[in-house]
Amino acid sequence: MRLKRDISFGQLVLLSLGGIIGAGIFLATSLTIPAAGPGVIISYLIGGVIMACVVSFLAEMTTAQPVAGGFSHFAGETLGPYAGFITGWMYWTAGVLTMSSEATAAGIFARWWWPHFPLWGFTLISSLLLTGANLMDVKGFGRVESSLAVIKVAALIFFIVAGSVFWLGFLPGHPSPGLANFLGHGGFLPKGWTGVGSALLLVMFAYAGTSVIGLAAAETKDPAQTMPGAIRAITLAVTVLYIGTVTVLVGILPWWELTPGISPMVRAFGLIGLPRSSDLMNLVVLTAVLSSLNAAMYGVSRMLYALAGQGEAPGLFARLNRHGVPQYSVLLSSLFLLLASLLAYVLPHQVFLYLTSSSGFVSMFNWIVISLTHYYFRGMMKKKNPAALRYLAWGHPYTSLLTTALILGVLASAYLVPGQRVGFAGGLALWGLYSLVFLLRNWRRGVR
Tens of pLDDT, residues 7-22 = 667 777 777 777 778 7
Q: Is the per-residue pLDDT at 447 higher than 50?
A: no
Residue 220, beta-bridge partner list: 7
Q: Is the per-residue pLDDT at 349 higher than 60?
A: no
Q: How confident is the model at residue 184 (pLDDT cuts 50, 70, 90)?
A: confident
* Short-list 414, 413, 435, 441, CA closest to 425: 414
* Short-list 207, 225, 302, CA closest to 59: 225
Q: How confident is the model at residue 25 (pLDDT cuts 50, 70, 90)?
A: confident
Q: Is the per-residue pLDDT at 388 higher than 80?
A: yes
CATH class of 9-442: mainly alpha
Distance CA 361, CA 204 (A): 9
What is the reported pLDDT for 7?
A: 66
Q: How confident is the model at residue 373 (pLDDT cuts 50, 70, 90)?
A: very high
Distance CA 414, CA 428 (A): 12
Find the mean pLDDT for residues 412-441: 77
Q: Is the per-residue pLDDT at 356 higher than 50?
A: yes
What is the reported pLDDT for 417?
A: 65
266: alpha, beta or left? (left if phi > 0; alpha if psi -120 to 50):
alpha
Q: Is 2 exposed, middle or buried (0-12, 13-18, 19+ CB in 10 A)?
A: exposed
Q: How confident is the model at residue 83 (pLDDT cuts 50, 70, 90)?
A: confident
Instruction: State the first-to-last Cα distance of the chain, in angstroms, to the nearest integer.
Output: 31
What is the reported pLDDT for 103?
A: 76
394: amino acid identity, one letter:
W
Helix boundaries (H) for 113-222: 119-134, 138-167, 180-183, 192-198, 200-207, 212-216
Distance CA 300, CA 295 (A): 9
What is the reported pLDDT for 10?
A: 72
Please provide residue 220's backbone torsions phi and psi, each rounded to the nearest 5 degrees. Answer: -100, 140
Domain boundaries, the chain: 9-442
165: helix, coil or strand? helix
Find the mean pLDDT for residues 359-371: 82
Between these two residues, 195 and 120, which has the higher pLDDT value? Answer: 195
How much of the chain, in percent, has pLDDT values that exceed 90?
Answer: 12
Q: Is the per-residue pLDDT at 448 higher than 50?
A: no
* Short-list 71, 110, 132, 88, CA closest to 337: 132
Q: How many CB atoms are located within 10 Å of the residue 185 CB?
A: 14
- In angstroms, the Cα distances linking 317 to 10, 193, 444 are 28, 46, 22
- In angstroms, the Cα distances linking 364 to 266, 273, 369 are 29, 39, 9
The answer to whether 432 and 80 have CB atoms below 8 angstroms apart is no
Find the mean pLDDT for residues 55-59: 85
Q: Would you say the C-alpha torsion 89, 418, 241, 192 has a positive or negative sign?
A: negative
Find the mean pLDDT for residues 17-31: 78
Find the mean pLDDT for residues 250-271: 84
Mean pLDDT is highest, among 166-180, 206-220, 278-292, for 166-180
What is the reported pLDDT for 138?
A: 61
What is the reported pLDDT for 292?
A: 75
Distance CA 354, CA 351 (A): 5
pTM for the complete prediction? 0.80
Q: Is the per-residue pLDDT at 91 higher than 90?
A: no
The answer to whether 69 and 88 have CB atoms below 8 angstroms apart is yes
Q: Is the per-residue pLDDT at 423 higher than 90?
A: no
Residues in the chain: 448
Q: Is the per-residue pLDDT at 332 higher than 90?
A: no
* 204 contact partners, CB below 8 Å, separation of at least 6: 47, 50, 360, 363, 364, 407, 410
429: helix, coil or strand? helix
Q: How confident is the model at residue 190 (pLDDT cuts 50, 70, 90)?
A: very high
Q: How confident is the model at residue 2 (pLDDT cuts 50, 70, 90)?
A: low
Q: What is the per-residue DSSP string for 50-61?
A: HHHHHHHHHHHH
Q: What is the mean pLDDT of the chain?
A: 79
Distance CA 344, CA 92 (A): 21
Q: Is the per-residue pLDDT at 43 higher than 90?
A: yes
64-68, 181-185, 352-356: lowest mean pLDDT where? 352-356
Q: What share of the chain is helix, strand, coil (3-state, %, to 5)?
A: 80, 0, 20
Distance CA 28, CA 354 (A): 12
Find the mean pLDDT for residues 427-433: 83
Q: How confident is the model at residue 419 (pLDDT cuts 50, 70, 90)?
A: low
The answer to whether 422 and 358 have CB atoms below 8 angstroms apart is yes
Q: How confident is the model at residue 40 (pLDDT cuts 50, 70, 90)?
A: very high
151: helix, coil or strand? helix
